[in-house]
Chain A
Amino acid sequence: MTEQKVNSSSTPKPYHSELSAFWWLKHRYYLLYMLREATVLPLLFFLGCLMYGLYSLSQSEQHWLGFVAFMQQGWVIALNLLAFVASLFHAKTFFELFPRVMPLAPAALMIAGQWLATLGVATVLFLMLGAG
C-alpha cells in the first residue's frame, strides 16, 4: 500500500491550463479578429432598420412617415454610420483573405479588383436610386 502511494505521487502529472473566456484580450492580433467578427453587431441593427422600413412601406403612409422620422434621429444615424464603417472594415479583411483562400491571380490584383467591383456596384445603385 505504501509502495503504491510512493509510486502514484512520483508519477509525473502534466499541468493543464484552462483558456480563459478573455483569451481574445491577450494580443492585438486576437483583438483585431474579434473586432472583425463583431462587425456583424452594428450590421444587425442596420438590417433591423431595413426590415422596419420594408414593413412600414407595406402598411400605410403614416407608418412610412414614422419610419422616416425614426431614421432621422441622431443616434440612429450614428449607429448606421457605425454599421457602414464596420462593413467597410469587414470588406477590407475579407478582400485581403480571399486571394489566400482562392489564389486565382496575384493577391494585389485580386484585392484591387474586389474594391473596384464594390465601387462599381455602389455607383450603379446610387445612380438607380437617384433616377428613382
Chain B
Amino acid sequence: MEKTLSIVRYNPELDSQPHSQSYQVPVDNSTSVLDALLYIQEQLDPTLAFRWSCRMAICGSCSVMVNGIPKLGCKTFLRDYGDEVLLEPLAHFATEKDLVPDINVFLQHLQQVKPYLINPEQSEQPHKQSPQQLAKYRKFANCINCGLCYSACPQFGLNPEFLGPAALTLAQRYNLDSRDQGKAERMPELNGKNGVWGCTFVGFCSDVCPKHLDPAAAVNQGKVASATDFVISMFKP
C-alpha cells in the first residue's frame, strides 16, 4: 500500500518562504513517520532534511507536525492516518531547513531555570531519598526535550520569551527534589512575567507529551509555589 506524504520544505539559501512537496511512500502496519522520511531520503530525494537519532522515543530529535499536531516521528505510525498526511516543521519555532526547527530559544529557556541539582553541601556520602520523596518529582522527571509541548503552547507561539512548558516542568521537578537546594535561585525566573504566570492552562502540552509528563499540571503547581514564595517574601525583612 502507498500513502502520499505532503512535506513542507524550505531551503534557506534559495527560498523566501516554505512550499509543499509530495512523495509516494510504500507503507505497511509498522511504518512510522520517521521510517517514511528515511525512505524518502534514501530512495527518492536525498536533499530532504530532518532530525532523528534513536528511533525509540528516547532522544526527542524527530519531532514534526503530523496533520497539524506535534508528534515524535518514530512513535507515530502511518497506519493511524488517511491516504494523505501533511508533515510540517515544529510550530512556533523558526525553521532552519525543511523539517529541521531552530530550537535554540528552547535550549536557552532550559538553561534559565537551572535544571540540575544545586546543593552547596559537599558530602562524600550518597544522598538518601525515600520512595515518598522520589514520588514527589518522579512524574515530572522523564522529559526528553523533544519540544512538542512548545509547539502545542499558543502562549509560547505568541511570546517566545515565555519560558514554556518543558523548562517550567523541569524547574518544578528540581524544586520538588529533596536533594536539591536551588529553589531560591530558580524562583525569580518562575515569578517573572515570562515564568509560570505566562501560562493560561490551555493544557494541550500535556496532551501531546510523548512521555505523559503532564507539563500543564507542573507549570500550574509552579503558580502555587510562586504565590507561596510571594507571600513568604512579604514577611521577610
Contacting residue for B157 out of A9, A14, A23, A37, CB 8 A: A23
Among residues 85 to 115 in chain A, which have CB atoms less than 8 Å away from a CB atom of chain B? 97, 100-103
Task: Note all chain B residues with C-beta closer than 8 A to A13.
Answer: 12
> Does B13 lie within 8 Å of A100, measured CB to CB?
no
Contact segment of B24-32, B73-81, B177-185, B215-223: B215-223
Contacting residue for A101 out of B94, B154, B220, CB 8 A: B220
| Chain B interface, >50% SS class | mixed
Evaluate whether A30 and B217 lie within 8 angstroms (CB atoms) in the complex, with A16-B94, A19-B157, A23-B154 already known: no
> Does A97 lie within 8 Å of B220, measured CB to CB?
yes
> Does B68 lie within 8 Å of A19, measured CB to CB?
no
Among residues 1 to 46 in chain B, which have CB atoms less than 8 Å away from a CB atom of chain A? 10, 12-13, 15, 17-18
> Does A14 lie within 8 Å of B220, measured CB to CB?
no
Among residues 45 to 99 in chain B, which have CB atoms less than 8 Å away from a CB atom of chain A? 68-69, 91-92, 94-97
Question: In the complex the two chains form, what is the Cα distance from A14 to B200 in whole Å?
Answer: 29
Contacting residue for A19 out of B13, B15, B158, B217, CB 8 A: B158
A126 in contact (CB, < 8 A): no
Nearest Cβ distance between residue B108 and chain A, in whole angstroms? Answer: 15
Among residues 8 to 54 in chain A, which have CB atoms less than 8 Å away from a CB atom of chain B? 9-10, 12-17, 19, 23-24, 26-27, 29-30, 33, 37
Task: Note all chain B residues with C-beta closer than 8 A to A97.
Answer: 201, 203, 220
Evaluate whether A101 and B223 lie within 8 angstroms (CB atoms) in the complex, with A14-B12, A27-B69 already known: yes
Tally of A-B Cβ pairs under 8 angstroms: 61
Question: In the complex the two chains form, what is the Cα distance from A101 to B15 in whole Å?
Answer: 45
> Does A15 lie within 8 Å of B201, measured CB to CB?
no
Evaluate whether A24 and B154 lie within 8 angstroms (CB atoms) in the complex, with A15-B10, A15-B17 already known: yes
> Does B214 lie within 8 Å of A100, measured CB to CB?
yes
B18, B200, B202, B220 pick with most chain A CB within 10 angstroms? B202
Nearest Cβ distance between residue A23 and chain B, in whole angstroms? Answer: 6
> Does A27 lie within 8 Å of B92, measured CB to CB?
no
Evaluate whether A30 and B154 lie within 8 angstroms (CB atoms) in the complex, with A100-B220, A101-B224 already known: yes
> Does A19 lie within 8 Å of B102, measured CB to CB?
no
Contacting residue for A14 out of B17, B94, B207, CB 8 A: B94
Contacting residue for B217 out of A9, A27, A29, A100, CB 8 A: A100
Task: Note all chain B residues with C-beta closer than 8 A to A16.
Answer: 94
Question: In the complex the two chains form, what is the Cα distance from A27 to B217 in whole Å?
Answer: 21
Question: In the complex the two chains form, what is the Cα distance from A94 to B218 in whole Å?
Answer: 16
Nearest Cβ distance between residue A107 and chain B, in whole angstroms? Answer: 10
> Does B154 lie within 8 Å of A15, measured CB to CB?
no
Task: Note all chain A residues with C-beta closer than 8 A to B97.
Answer: 12
A-B pairs with beta carbons under 8 Å apart, 19 shown: A10-B13, A12-B97, A13-B12, A14-B94, A14-B102, A15-B17, A17-B91, A17-B95, A19-B158, A26-B68, A29-B202, A29-B207, A30-B202, A30-B204, A97-B201, A97-B220, A100-B220, A101-B221, A101-B223
Residues in chain A within 8 A of chain B (CB atoms): 9-10, 12-17, 19, 23-24, 26-27, 29-30, 33, 37, 97, 100-103
